[in-house]
Amino acid sequence: MRIYLDNSATTAVAPEVIDAMLPYFSEEIGNAQSVHSFGQRAKAAVERARRQVADLINSSATEVVFVSGGTEADNLAVHGVAEAHRDHGRHIITTKIEHPAVLSTCESLEQAGFRVTYLPVSGRGRVSVDDVRAAIGSDTILVSVMHANNETGTIQPIEELADVVATARERGASHLHFHTDAVQSVGKVAVDVKRLRVDLLSLSGHKIHGPKGVGALYVRKGVRLSKLMLGGHHERDRRAGTENVPGIVGLGCAAELARLQLGERQERMGELRDYLERQIAADVSDVRVNGDAENRVPNVANLSFDGVDGESLLIALDLKGIAVSTGSACASGSLEPSHVLQAMALTREQIRGSLRFSLSAYTTREEIDCAVAAVAETVNRLREMIPTDELSASNLALS
Amino acid sequence: MYTTQVADHIAHPRNVGELESPSGVGDVTNEVCLDRIKLTIRVDGSRLTDAKVKAQGCPPTIAVASVLTELIIDRPLEEVESLTREEVVRSLGRLPAAKMHCASLGIDALRAAIGDLQQ
């Protein structure tokens, strides 16, 4: 029995997506830049996918840049704005809970002379709109705040932040840009660039039942960006490199499925996630939900189990065929506590005992029932192993 | 990241519990990671005849606690006294470098329990 509840790390590719991609491996093999008909057909497929992604986020097709994934999209957004606008300002605002792709790019820019403000978050993992407003200065060129956090699923107040950015621009911050990493929100909640009023938005294929190795960056018309990938004029001269045609076709198909099925997926996942939390609470004592239960994506449950080591719980569940994660996928193997949970001021014990369950549109109730039973059995078993503080009476007798 | 032996001890930890009227108790905590192992042993004459263990912490700590009991039960005390960290690790296959301290914690618990005997 294998139950996969780590969909925030990656998802299975949908069967429709595989079908859509297949012809582009052996039949429609053209390089989309080639002039001959092989190439032109590949190019048409890329442009079709571009429209599918654009439709998902309500942008124009020309505003969609295909990249190799969420990480590259984040790198391109942050680095791209910083380099293109460095003569107008060197200040960037972000949060402490961003994905490492944003944080590492910011750190690298700090080495290059930029100033970065890493804003704190509340105990529920939300950034304060007032903090952002207060942090914006005359030399701020970028605000980057993720739409939904990968570890807790907490949704940030992007629309309110867009208001703050708009006001700042009216008051003279003409080179201020607003980026959101929507890798964990796309396909889970409505993501509309016109409503969010962002300048840049990152998304990733393998989080929405598309293939790994492909993603997109929405770049609002008129936004100037410095290129990261050099060596060609692909993607309207924004990102060089032969197009990953099968991957892009897959992303397009996944985007279309996400758009058409959004309502249904949201409802299903939300119901099952809430059911998971209720059932675990019924069978296991001393469990805490981390994050903002009212403002989060419908498929994530980040729970802390008192007294139990999350890693031990994870390994034990893995042996029962159940896949979950502790911290984030990027941090696995690094043995470092989650920077997100730390920023939320969870205690060391709470962070240590935390597990992230992340469902998909394909998760079934049976799988949840199985997982709950396994979690209950394992937590209770590990808790039984906790040493007591009693000294044995005979200890004294022998001495 | 972890061997099948470690995984097996997590799934089926051996000799979990606390002996009634133990001959010695070793209860040690790693102050840095807060992992804890409490080992209770029974010694009859010059032989360690029984042991039970309780543990709290990361997977290697649980696995070390469990395999430790297997390595010491029904052994001459002399042998048990010279058990090394390396032998514990070997019985688990191997441990990541960053988790070697878990094996040390196991040896510390054993030494503490033996030290408790001589009280």
User: 3-state secondary structure string, A284-324?
Assistant: CCCEEECCCCCCECCCEEEEEECCCCHHHHHHHHHHCCEEC
**Which stretches does DSSP call E strand in A124-166?**
140-144
The mean pLDDT values, 10 residues at a time, for chain A of 399 residues are: 95 98 97 97 98 98 98 98 98 97 98 98 96 97 97 97 97 95 98 98 98 98 97 96 98 98 98 98 96 96 94 92 78 69 90 94 97 97 91 35
Quote the ipTM score: 0.93
What CATH number has the domain bearing residue A347?
A: 3.90.1150.10
pLDDT category, B111, cuts 50, 70, 90? very high
Are A304 and A199 members of one domain? no
Region of residue B57 (phi > 0: left; psi between -120 and 50: alpha; otherwise: beta): left
The span from the CA of A144 to the CA of A160, in Å, is 13
CA distance to partner chain A, nearest, from residue B76 (Å): 20
- What is the residue range of A357's domain? 3-8+262-384
- A347: nearest Cα among A316, A387, A307, A385: A307
Q: Say which residue, A337 or B114, is predicted with more confidence.
A: B114
Residue A338 domain flag: yes
Residue A36 sits in a domain whose CATH number is 3.40.640.10
Q: Are A266 and A254 in a shared domain?
A: no
Q: How many CB pairs under 8 A join A and B?
A: 79
Same-domain check for residues A128 and A231:
yes
**Closest Cα of chain B to A347: distance in Å?**
13
Residue A112, φ and ψ in degrees, nearest 5: -95, 15
> What integer pLDDT is reported at residue B2 of this predicted model?
87
Identify whether residues A294 and A239 lie together within a single domain. Answer: no
What residues of chain A lie within 8 A of the CB of B23, using their CB? 394, 398
Give chain B positions within 8 Å (CB) of A307: 56
Which of A228, A258, A288 terminates a domain? The answer is A258
Angle in degrees, CA A358, A363, A369, rounded to 5: 90
How many structural domains is chain A composed of? 2
CATH topology of domain B4-117: Sufe protein. Chain: A (3.90.1010)
Do A28 and A165 belong to one domain?
yes
CB contact under 8 A, A307 and B56: yes
pLDDT at residue A336 in the model: 72
Q: What is the CA radius of gyration of chain B?
A: 13
Residue A203 shares a structural domain with residue A268: no
- Whether residues A27 and A60 fall in one domain: yes
**Which residues of A are known to be catalytic?**
330
If asked whether residues A29 and A102 sit together in one domain, one would say yes
Residue A145 burial (10 A CB sphere; 0-12, 13-18, 19+): buried
Is residue A155, in this structure, part of any structural domain at all? yes
Other Cβ atoms within 10 Å of A130 Cβ, number: 10
pLDDT at position A327 is 63
**Distance set, CA B73 to CA A68, B15, B21, B55 (Å):** 55, 10, 16, 17
Residue A390 domain flag: no
| Rounded CA separation A304/A285 (Å) | 11
Judged against a pLDDT cut of 90, whether residue B32 lies above it is answered with no
A113 class by beta-carbon count within 10 Å (0-12 exposed, 13-18 middle, 19+ buried) = exposed
Same domain assignment for residues A371 and A223: no
Among candidates B10, B23, B54 on the partner chain, residue whose Cβ is nearest the Cβ of A312: B10
B112 CB neighbours in chain A (<8 A) are none
Asked if A319 and A372 sit in the same domain, the reply is yes
CA angle A31, A33, A34 (to 5 degrees): 70
- Please give the Cα distance from A157 to A234 (Å, whole number): 34
Identify the H or E element spanning A202.
strand A200-204
Residue B27 touches chain A, beta carbons under 8 Å: yes
Residue A282 lies in a domain: yes
The answer to whether A398 contacts B117, with C-beta atoms less than 8 Å apart, is: yes
Tell me if A28 is assigned to some domain.
yes
Question: Considering the domain boundaries, does residue A212 fall inside one?
Answer: yes
- Do both A254 and A272 map to the same domain? no
Let me know: does A332 contact A325? Beta carbons within 8 Å. yes
Asked which of A215, A241, A258 is the last residue of a domain, the reply is A258
- pLDDT grade, residue B33 (50/70/90)? confident
Q: B25 vs A311: CB contact, 8 Å cut-off?
A: no
Residues of chain A contacting residue B7, judged by C-beta atoms under 8 Å apart: 315, 318-319
| pLDDT value for A392 | 41
Cβ-based burial of A170 (10 A; exposed 0-12, middle 13-18, buried ≥19)? exposed
For residue B29, give the chain A residue with the closest CA. Answer: A387
Residue A124 Cα distances to A155, A343, A348, A353, B90, angstroms: 10, 10, 16, 17, 44
**Assigned domain for A393 exists:** no
Q: Is A86 within a domain?
A: yes
Q: Looking at the structure, do residues A39 and A188 belong to the same domain, yes or no? A: yes
Cβ of B21 within 8 Å of Cβ of A399? The answer is no
Of A196, A226, A258, which one is at a domain's C-terminal end? Answer: A258
**Distance separating alpha carbons of residues B58 and B63, to the nearest angstrom:** 9
B-proximal residues of A, 315-374, CB under 8 Å: 315-316, 318-320, 333, 335, 348-349, 352
Residues A287-309, buried b or exposed e (16+ Cβ, 10 A)? bebbbbeeebbbbbbbbbbeebb
Q: Looking at the predicted structure, is the pLDDT value of residue B70 above 50?
A: yes
A294 CB within 8 Å of a chain B CB: no
